[in-house]
Structure 1
């Protein structure tokens, strides 16, 4: 990491970088979903619709969003939905799966398996040896079927239906099924991946498939590779941003920064980091731009410290109680409002910054019409609903 006097990258330049590198300015839109995912490193996949709407906002030919994204996910397998940072489901370019697995998933997977075995024992369920036997049987059944839901796998291996009490005596006591917990553990371990859902592209009823093989990488080298990719897309970022996005220990973040020779710069929050050679000035788009991004969009969720693109007073209507962002309206590099889709299919929005309405409204209206055009008969309701989205969609 560099020392000496640091170049200051101000808010305007950070917004310019975001517009260009996240494919949000109209002139920077991508040709296909693979290009979008590569530019962003990862697409949030917890809500299935987020993946498609995030891609559609950045594609030059938005009308082809659904067929192109489904092809990439389920036919060409150039994109893979899997667990990654912070034990969250993302969609990654296939060439990153080994990097994500080694850099972030291994530790999470070990904890998830240990927790499952412990919870089963506490809840009066079977032991680890039984689980290993059922796991082997389920994976063999999945390999025979190619793709299957948990319910379909339970037809081949009925022991997957076994239930046990979770958190007995606590206020959140619940009955857990072995299939749901086990498939989640296998997913974090990189042994199974989510396949094509039942129903449409908005469905969360996913089939599972055996994960394609990938090389086993050294975790430290994998963290270095992932950090380099993310800083290229999102730099400058602070140490707090990096620790939050990756979910790593601060010692691992610092080691990866040293390994790539990250350059230190100054941002309003303090010290920021960019990849080597990326500290020079970046000119923004030729014209202001508008975008309608979905709930959990990777740009809106990309940094822990967000004041440079999201005013603090705008957060309460745009986030749920767990910190999940809802659908957002962007104007020239910052969040200026929120949007929703009504049952009729109409896209409606509200500015939270009235000062931009006159300049921004025509472009926002055009983006809303563009979005409605490719959505067609599909209806998108965010999995994590926020106050403004609920109000607008009513």
Structure 2
């Protein structure tokens, strides 16, 4: 069994993720493919994840890949999370992780519809809502959720759920139905009608948006496709890492690992990791580097076990209790802190411990690079870590 030390895992991260300056990537599509997916829960994350890995790529170029060429597409998938996929990987998600989310959402919404007295048959109500949304969208380039709700009155209602607000108030059903249809690949978040840092999507039929029907892969083949891409991006990783990342069962993950012919390797933790059979050659240390990554960046969210790049004492300062990561400052493959912006948009790093002068210079250079790229645009975050919240900037 080949041994992959933590130092090599950090070297793989630097090279595969396009974070070392010598390994930067050319465009948003290349970044998306290299990272398997980009997190899109916070809309600015997509653009900032590309910025960190590609020189000279503007926010407009990211928008063009999303909404003009449509080479990358937003899709609800693993762990009921919104991601950006390259088009070639979408069928794998549609047949596996997205289908799992869609089924979970279907059951919940149908039960809530019956409990709220909207219909005696929740499944039939959902099918009617689906057909109504299809009829309204037609072959248009998209309508806002508000427009859809106005055109489909049956969606303009609120229902109670098992996870309503802390005050127990019912919540609107329209966003949940649209998310369900999105997970099914019936519809898609199309053009964004707001600034790139704000999510105001126009929903469109998936087949219209892509110019072809959405054809999912069979479930097992889909999970294998996602696992293969994940192993190349994040490997070596453990079974627990992949179960967490996919939001799947252990059985599905074990079958996927077998289907792709993954090979066991030993790790410094004493545990077992997995690599693709044609990816066993050592990856050399590319040299020193620094990176400033956004909230929920795919590198920050790639593994459940983060010991090889994060001190355990730092975890509660950089991640919430659900494992959502805030902004991160990386030096030589380890998270050393976070970053924030001051009132005029200048990026500042917040370090958990001192770093050497050369490392500080690398971090300062990345802060200047990001400040210039943002050009005065200030980012607000839902998932702000304790370290980010602790900032006291003038």
The alignment's TM-score, normalised by the length of structure 2, stands at 0.94
Aligned equivalent of 1:111: 104
1:278 paired residue number: 279
Contact 1:22 1:40 (C-alpha < 8 Å) held by counterparts: yes
**2:19 is the counterpart of 1:24:** yes
Give the corresponding residue for 2:183: 188
How far did residue 391 of structure 1 move? 2.3
- Distance in 1, Cα, partners of 2:165 & 2:89: 40
Tell me how far 1:211 sits from its aligned partner: 1.1
Distance 2:195 2:275 in 1: 40
Structure 1 segment 252-331 matched on structure 2, within 5 A: 252-269=252-269, 270-285=271-286, 287-331=287-331
Residue 58 of structure 1 is matched in structure 2 by 53
CA distance in 2 between partners of 1:165 and 1:11 (Å): 47
| Aligned-partner SS, 1:273 | strand
Choose 317-326 or 180-189, whichever is displaced more.
317-326
Counterpart-to-counterpart distance in 1, 2:178 and 2:232: 33
Q: 2:381 aligns to what?
A: 382
**Separation in 2 of the partners of 1:199 and 1:107?**
30
| Number of corresponding residues | 385
Q: Which runs of 5+ in 2 are unaligned?
A: 208-212
Aligned to 1:84: 77
Q: CA deviation at 1:198?
A: 2.6
Find the aligned partners of 1:41 and 1:169 in 2 and give their Cα distance: 33
Report the equivalent of 1:72: 65
Maintained 8 Å contact 2:48/2:293: yes
Give, in angstroms, the shift of residue 357 of structure 1. Answer: 3.8
- Contact 1:55–1:65 (CA under 8 A) maintained in structure 2: no
Segments ≥4 residues shifted beyond 6 Å: none
Are the counterparts in 1 of residues 327 and 384 from structure 2 also a CA contact under 8 Å? no
CA RMSD of superposed structures (Å):
1.7
Given candidates 117, 121, 134, the residue that maps to 1:124 is: 117
Extract unaligned runs of 5+ from structure 1.
Answer: 1-5
Q: Which residue of structure 2 aligns with residue 345 of structure 1? A: 345
Distance 2:37 2:279 in 1: 21
**Which residue is 1:3 aligned to?**
none
Moved more, 30-39 or 205-214: 205-214
TM-score (structure 1 length as normaliser): 0.94
